[in-house]
Amino acid sequence: MPRKQTHPYDLKTARWIREQLIMQPDEDLRKQFLEQLQDVFQSRYAEILNYIASDYRVMLRDDQLWDDFDADYWVGKIWSCGRAYGKTYCGAPATIEYAMTHPDCRIGLIAPTFGMGRTNMVEGSSGILKLSPKGFKPKYNRSDGTLTWPNGATAKLFSAENGDRIRGENFHFIWADEFCFCKFTGQDDDFWKMAKMALRAGKHPKYIITTSPRPIKVLRELYEESKKPNSKILFKTGTTFDNYTLPDSFIEEIKKDEGTSIYNQEVLGMILEENLGAIFTNENILRIDLDGQGEDPDKYNDRVEKFINSMDSIVVGVDPNVVEDLESDETGVVVCGRKGDKGYIIKDGSRRGKISDIYKEVVRLYHFYRADSIVVETNNGGDFIPTAIFNIDPMVVVEKVFASRGKRSRAEPIGLLYERQKIYHMGIFRDLEAQMTDYNPQVHSKSPDRMDAMVWAFTKLFPAAMRGLFSNESVEQTYRKPKNENELNDLYEELYSQTNDTYSPYNLYLDEDSSGEDGGDYSVYG
């Protein structure tokens, strides 16, 4: 029989310590409390002080605490809260506490991808390994994502990208992190369907969900269910401002978007109404997992580098902000790649700041990812941007694009690529994805900068694929320019209107119909 695991003091004492030591602003009263603590624990005082320093029960806010695991009034608890609320610090301690109080239990850990779960839920600064107390550290197998505590409790990590792997499991407890960023297929292999069917061990099986809110169907259904009489779902909302430890600089930065729907969702933690007119939807955002079970976890960076280097083409899309004002809009900077008929978002480097600093970063990303070109929108006074980039590095290839048609006609072809499951995100890009799913061309006259940069990048990477979006033909594998304009639907003519407007030190002095000495074609489509 595994030995019983306990803390050196109970939860009630831990909360008393928090109140008198952590939350007490008066230094003299804190000193008096330490003296009182020494009287209580006597010879174990030094040991207890060392334990307090890393005890999550002392550090947790009241709104981050779990409910009684053996109570029958609840089955699931959801923390749907704003950015930096401390959601992982809700999930990891609850998981550890369940493992400690339920020897030999089996726990399921679910994340959008296996790699994200390993990085955030297990190995992160607020993860299970970091927070597990002294004397109750689990043995951890990085390759298959399993943890084994001293009392026989075990946990296993799963990716929501492959719900079938959960099939047949038998759990006492489940923690699903970043729930709204997971892939919901709605089919028999849907990870959440499989997870709920696997939650069948023990007398009172429980699940918790920690997530930033998104207007997805499953989260809304859980919220509505929690409001019903006698519901066994506890739904907790919270804002970024609930985390009083955040620096003032971070608070000032997020307040710049105050009044927008993205601010309401990402900061205030509101579940917005579903954006029925949106071109991009949460359901169509897929993620590639390069860190699946069975892979060598220590070679993850090598796999990422190998995958990026295998791409047919990489570009850096830029939607410039031409006003040098820290309070103004961001400059959208998104690195995208194409391999075969699939596209990938590799990096979102969008930012505010000095124009010179921004384009130094753009050039750095160009070289770091060995991009073919930087695609820059030159509407609204952005004509100087190619020159600015060229002055930083004359060897960079810059392609100017000008929006001759509306934003909807530019974004819709890319939205259809998402619908056809041709685009994958290499990670979670919160701000970019929030802008994408928030943008409704029927309502918004201005599209957001990150999304625009992404659209320009994929427009460059998928010129021929646009033509096949409404046909039964297979997606073009080449990057050729169409033979004539009759091949194109009138809606997408703008996608090819700038094919000869390429800014590069290699063709500055060439006539429009000239090519380089090696016979190469220096047009946009190569």
Domain boundaries, the chain: 11-59, 62-266, 282-503
Q: Residue 342: enclosing H or E segment and its boundaries?
A: strand 342-348
The residue with greater pLDDT, 358 or 507, is 358
How far is Cα of residue 161 from the mean position of the Cα atoms in its chain?
14
136 has a pLDDT exceeding 90: yes
What is the longest distance spanned by two Cα atoms in the chain? 89
User: What are the tokens at 420?
Assistant: 């056809």
**Look-up of token digits 């700038």:** 498
How far, in Å, are 16, 17, 160, 365, 522 from residue 59 at the CA level? 11, 10, 30, 39, 60
User: pLDDT tens for residues 26-76?
Assistant: 999 999 999 988 988 888 899 999 999 999 999 999 999 999 999 999 999
The highest-level CATH class for domain 62-266 is: alpha beta
316 has a pLDDT exceeding 90: yes
Give the per-residue pLDDT at 56.
96
User: What are the tokens at 97?
Assistant: 């506490």
Q: What are the φ and ψ backbone dihedral angles of 319, each rounded to 5 degrees?
A: -115, 100
The pTM score is 0.76
> 377 - beta bridge partners?
401
User: pLDDT tens for residues 410-458?
Assistant: 788 899 899 989 999 998 898 899 889 888 876 665 668 899 999 999 9
Give the per-residue pLDDT at 444.
60
Asked if 62-266 and 282-503 have one fold, the answer is no
506 has a pLDDT exceeding 80: no
Q: Residue 314: enclosing H or E segment and its boundaries?
A: strand 313-319
- The SS3 of residue 295 is coil
Q: In sequence order, which ranges of 53-87 are alpha helices (DSSP H)?
A: 56-59
Mean pLDDT of 87-99: 97
Percent of the chain topping pLDDT 90: 54
| CATH architecture designation of domain 282-503 | 2-Layer Sandwich (3.30)
User: What are the tokens at 31?
Assistant: 């000193």
The beta-carbon contacts of 304-307 under 8 Å, at least 24 apart in sequence, are 304/426
Q: Report how far residue 274's alpha carbon sits from residue 281's, in angstroms, rounded to the nearest whole number.
A: 9
Instruction: Give every strand in the sheet of 154-159, ordered side by side.
Output: 139-141, 146-148, 154-159, 106-111, 173-177, 206-211, 76-81, 233-238
Burial class (CB in 10 A: 0-12, 13-18, 19+), 113: buried
